[in-house]
Amino acid sequence: MSAIAIKLRKLREIYGYPQEYVAYQMGISQAAYSKKENGKTELSLTVLEQLASLYQISMLDLIALSLSDLLIMAVQKTTNASS
């Protein structure tokens, strides 16, 4: 599995979203999203932009940050949102 696919799965888990929800937000089927998250299909810039928007991060952060830095940022966002 690619690094970006792992990031997408971990972000989804931190936000507590099922694959069906993310797929719906993107306008695709759950099966199509699952293939993206598992690294079985290529991620276009449009898809990366949609996912970054969903998680309220920049596309650059999604691509460039290490997994641990991205997860720390996501946890902070979810903690601040629930406060």
Tokens 């293939």 appear where? Answer: 35
Domain count, the chain: 1
Cα(68)–Cα(16) distance, rounded to whole angstroms? 18
21 pLDDT band (50/70/90 cuts)? very high
The predicted-structure confidence for 32-81, as pLDDT tens digits, reads as follows 999 999 999 989 999 999 999 999 999 999 999 999 999 999 999 888 87
CATH code: domain of residue 33 = 1.10.260.40
pTM for this model (two decimals): 0.88
Expressed as residue numbers, the domain containing 10 is 3-82
